[in-house]
Structure 1
Amino acid sequence: MTPISEVSYDRHRLRQWIGGSARADGVPRRDLLKLLGAAGVLTVLPAGTAYAADPTASTAPTDTSRTPAPAAPPAARSAVAAPGIVKPLPPELFTIRGTNAETNFHALRGSGYHTPVDRFFVRNHTSTPQLSARDWRLRLWGSGLRGSADQAHAIELDLADLRRLPAHTHSATIECAGNGRSFYTSQQGESVAGTAWTLGAIGMARWRGARLSDVLRRAGLRREAVDVLPRGLDEEYVTGGVNLGRVRRPLPLAKALDDVLLAYEMNGEPLTADHGAPVRVVVPSWVGISSIKWVGDIEVSAQPLYSPWNTDFYRLFGPAHPEGGSAPLTRQTLKSAFELPTGAHFAPRVTHRLDGRSWSGAGGVRRVDVSTDGGATWRRARLRDQPRRDGWVRWSVDWHPTTPGPTELLARASDTSGRAQPDRSTFNTQGYFFDAVVRHPVTVD
């Protein structure tokens, strides 16, 4: 099967929907019409077809039921646990954000290339289920499989079956699409909806499991298959009084057959509950919502599939984007972060080593430049890792400050695809894909 580009794939599946050969899983027709607008193909709709314009296309959403409550103030966070998260969340390692826990980036200093499980961020739509590995089953079904067109004829695998398949190990980051969201407001003065992450909604792990491609082929993959839809076993997600069901998001078959894992180990140990045990999907380089935790069933379809997680959510809305929104988000963007608390203090006339990490979903990071004077001058940082697909690069630079007072540290990365971090991110109402250079305030005293 010949892989196709992500943009071509999305346009192809929209054409299939127009022709009546795509299926929406819990998606209102009006939202699919928005997708048509995003692809610029409204002119092919039959005469008289209504098109409901997206009211959030040029302004921030006003439905506050979809906006998580703000995080508790710093003084209160140490005494507050994140609802539904199992592992300990000491305040020196995490900042609680609603049902989520953000890694404090300075806690990664000295932790090595892979993020320790006890410091790995947690992104939950509801709460962490604690599932029995012995009782866990994975059901595979759909029109894209031979003999398993519906759930009544699903193929079932248990964890032992999965472990009997060839094991594969892959080091890759998982990052929330909203990582860096708070900087739209604090740095660019723009109002956006969603969890106010700084830069700690990312983690790097060594994942081990079976290739999804091996599982699909052994399940009887048909040539007509186009979409693969993993679904989690966490509670159904209710927002704004609407039950959207369990978290699920389709993958194009080309990606599913490329590098996607059904992982049962993380950094050499069995997955823990908060990170998807017994088995999770790992989709390298793509937005974190693609890497479904606690996977329980996978639909393989001969029709393009849509879910709320690639229609209402995880697309770009705003004045700089197509009317009705962008195509569903796939590859992650480019970012850099200092392993340093905000507002850190440095002694003057002493040499300090500044450490940080940079990463990209489009290719390996090949260069990082650092400014210690608010962007007036720049120096090239020393890369401590080789640029590699799906991974981050740790870097360092020496700094010998002589002038007391406040200043801002900046780090700017470029990758092997030719992308470089801009001075300003393009606004979108849900605050995804912040990729601008972040200004990190410190004081010399």
Structure 2
Amino acid sequence: MTPMISKGVSEEAYDGRRRAQWLAGEARAAGVARRDMLRLLAAAGGASVLALAAPRAEATAGTRSSAPGIVKPLPSDRFTIRGTNAETKFESLSETGHRTPASHFFVRNHTSTPRLDAKTWKLKIWGDGLRDGPREFTLSDLKRLPSVSRTAFVECAGNARSFFATQQGTPVSGTPWTLGAIGNAHWRGARLSDVLRLAGVSRHAVDVLPRGLDADYVTDDGTNLGRVRRPLPLSKAMDDVILAYEMNDAPLPPDHGYPVRILAPSWVGIASIKWLGDIEVSTTPLYSPWNTDFYRLFGEAYPDEGSAPLTRQTLKSAFELPWNASLPAARTHHLTGRSWSASGAITRVDISTDEGATWHPAHLNDKPQTSSWTRWTTTWHPKTPGPTTLLARATDTTGRTQPETTVHNAQGYLFDAVVRHVVRVV
């Protein structure tokens, strides 16, 4: 059997080996027929990915006060509705603090928010990676375990996707997020590692597969992909993953995973499965549609079979300012924004108010932390009326700085280039 992966093995190396095992037929496609998985994987590298990555549920639907399957209110001054999803308007965050309130937190739903009863909810841990068979945990069981708290962002892998087309002239498929598919909250829950140990995880286990309790996801061509699920290598599961039951010191709201969700800090949002129902523990690598045809990089810069499944998010910055905002000339404006990185803490944010001709550092308002954003402030005294472009460029503790452009991929993931924020001085 495959030995347990140690924390010293890199995510990239492990995912590369898992991909090779899948292609060689040595891994399992959990919950979907292998013939369908191979068809989807082949489609993801070609033109038909457009139909798979942009299903009905992700069509842009303009701005309105509700969305199919979302429970909480979605006032138009806070959200842009995108099918079954709701994107936060970044300017609305200027009235909030470091944490994103649930009232402003974006919603990414593949289907619709289920209404679950915490009193009857149970988490089933099962699979051949356990020593003694399946084990169930109630919410009360989880709350009796030592709790851990973490302030961290959850960000969709496709956040900022629309800029591939609008800035780089390279259209992509999927929900056309701007920068609001992210929220930063204080999470509390049980360590997944503690639960796996209690369940009797074997030394031969290599993958865990959390699965949600939302409805089955069906593509436009009628393929039923089952419930949303995505495997984690055991090294990640035993490291910093939380079974979160609180968000900002309150029970999780329905749209954000009630009663329990996965929180996988720094990783793409799909890894933080909402409405957790069961976790398979496996001695062989596991795959699902959410790390074969979705959430991998396809395109001219990548192998025909795509990149390794996406793990860490990337580096971004955003102004807390409406798009095409009108700002009076001959006045001092206090511009605010936020920058974040999944690989390190933010060390510097540089601002340009003249379309990149000159740059100056912004003031950082928070103690920078990995997996959590940093708010910043700068002043600007424009003199000449007319259109101009504001730029914010972040650098993190790994030494990485946002680039001018992002390498194109067909599904528009991990856009990290400096965003051109157009305003008008009046």
Flag whether TM exceeds 0.5 (same fold).
Answer: yes
1: distance between equivalents of 2:96 and 2:50? 41
Q: Structure 2: which amino acid aligns with 1:440?
A: H
- More moved, 199-208 vs 2-11: 2-11
In the alignment, is residue 104 of structure 1 matched against residue 89 of structure 2? yes
Asked if the contact 2:43/2:293 (under 8 Å) is kept, the reply is no
Query: Secondary structure at 1:91's aligned position in 2?
Result: coil
Deviation at 1:15, TM superposition (A): 4.5
Judging changes above 3 Å, is the alpha-carbon distance between structure 1 residues 315 and 64 closer, same or farther for their aligned structure 2 residues?
Answer: closer
What residue in structure 2 maps to residue 349 of structure 1? 330
Report what 2:193 is aligned to: 213
CA distance in 1, matches of 2:285, 2:69: 33
Higher mean Cα deviation, 54-63 or 205-214?
54-63
Superimposed CA distance per residue, residues 120-147 of structure 1 (whole angstroms, 9 cap, x where no aligned partner): 0000000000100001000001111111
Distance 2:23 2:358 in 1: 53
* Deviation of 1:10 (Å): 1.5
| CA distance, structure 1, for counterparts of residue 15 and residue 52 of structure 2 | 30
Deviation at 1:59, TM superposition (A): 5.3
**Whole-angstrom distance in 2 between the partners of 1:11 and 1:433:** 19
Q: Secondary structure of 1:118's partner?
A: coil
CA distance, structure 2, for counterparts of residue 128 and residue 339 of structure 1: 28
Q: Which amino acid aligns with 1:84?
A: G
Match of 2:34 among 21, 25, 28: 28
Deviation at 1:110, TM superposition (A): 3.0
Deviation, 1:20, is: 5.2
Is 2:382 aligned against 1:411? Answer: no
Mapped to 2, the partners of 1:266 and 1:312 lie a distance apart of 31
* SS of residue paired to 1:147: coil
- With over 3 angstroms needed to count, the CA separation of the structure-2 counterparts of 1:60 and 1:377, relative to structure 1, is farther
- State the shift of 1:96 in Å: 0.2
Amino acid at match of 2:6: T
Q: Between Structure 1 and Structure 2, how many residues are aligned?
A: 418
2:312 aligns with one of 312, 315, 331: 331
CA contact (8 A) 1:359 1:365 kept: yes
CA distance in 2, matches of 1:168, 1:369: 34
Distance 1:107-1:62 versus aligned 2 partners, 3 A rule: closer
2:287 aligned to which of 296, 302, 306: 306
* Contact 1:311 1:328 (8 Å CA) reproduced: yes
Letter aligned with residue 61 of structure 2: A
Q: 1:72 aligns with which of 61, 70, 78?
A: 61
1:129 aligned residue: 114
- Say if 2:102 is the partner of 1:120: no
Candidates 106, 116, 124, aligned match of 1:139: 124
1:166 equivalent in alignment to 2:146:
yes
Contact 1:57 1:319 in 2 (8 A): no
Q: Deviations 1:271-292 (Å, cap 9, x if unpaired)?
A: 0100000000000000000000
Once the two structures are TM-superposed, the CA of residue 425 in structure 1 deviates from its matched residue by 1.1
Residues 223-260 of structure 1: CA distance to partner in whole angstroms, max 9, x if unpaired? 00100100000000000210000000000000001100
Residues 207, 284 of structure 2: 8 Å contact kept:
yes
The whole-number CA distance in structure 1 between the counterparts of 2:23 and 2:91 is 49
Report the Cα distance in structure 1 between the residues aligned to 2:301 and 2:335, rounded to whole angstroms: 36
1:49-80 CA distances to partner (integer Å, 9 max, x unpaired)? xxxxx46546573437844454234xxx23x5
Aligned 8 A contact 1:34 1:325 in 2: no
The share of aligned pairs that are identical, in percent, is: 61
- Distance in 2 between residues matched to 1:305 and 1:279, nearest whole Å: 22
Which position in structure 2 is the counterpart of 1:151? Answer: none
Contact kept? 1:27, 1:306, Cα under 8 Å: no
Q: Distance in 1 between matches of 2:53 and 2:414?
A: 22
Query: 1:296 matched to which residue of 2?
Result: 277
CA distance in 2, matches of 1:12, 1:324: 14
**What does residue 414 of structure 2 align with?**
433
Q: Secondary structure at the match of 1:300?
A: strand
Shift of 1:357: 0.3
Q: Which runs of 5+ in 1 are unaligned?
A: 36-53, 149-153
* Contact in 1 for aligned 2:340/2:346 (Cα 8 Å): yes
Q: What's the secondary structure of 2:49's corresponding residue?
A: coil
1-side partners of 2:190 and 2:346: how far apart? 28
1:333-385 alpha-carbon deviations (Å, 9 max, x no partner): 11100000011111111111100001111111111101111111111111111
Tell me, yes or no, if structure 1 residue 222 matches structure 2 residue 193.
no
Partner residue of 2:352 out of 364, 368, 371: 371
Matched AA of 1:379: H
Q: 1:87 aligns with which of 72, 80, 84?
A: 72
For 1:182 and 1:15, how far apart are their aligned partners in 2?
Answer: 32
Q: Is residue 353–residue 389 contact of structure 2 (8 Å, CA) maintained in 1?
A: yes
3-state SS, counterpart of residue 243 of structure 1: coil
Q: SS of the counterpart of 2:95?
A: coil
Distance in 1 of aligned mates of 2:223 and 2:39:
20
TM-score (norm 1): 0.90
Between the aligned partners of 2:349 and 2:298, the Cα distance in structure 1 is: 30
Residue aligning to 2:182: 202
CA distance in 1, matches of 2:155, 2:261: 15
Aligned CA-pair RMSD: 1.8
Relative distance call for 1:104 and 1:62 in structure 2 (3 A) is: closer
Q: Do the aligned partners of 1:60 and 1:192 also contact (CA within 8 Å) in 2?
A: no
CA distance in 2, matches of 1:72, 1:298: 34
- 3-state SS, counterpart of residue 103 of structure 2: helix
Q: Can you list the C-alpha shifts for 1:402-439, whole angstroms capped at 9, x where unaligned?
A: 11111010101111112111111111110111111111
Distance, in Å, in 2 between the alignment partners of 1:169 and 1:65 is 34
Determine if contact 2:216/2:227 at 8 Å carries over to the other structure: yes
TM-score by length of 2: 0.94
Partner of 1:39: none
Q: Which deviates more from structure 2 when the two are superposed, residues 7-16 or residues 279-288? A: 7-16
Distance 1:72 1:114 in 2: 28
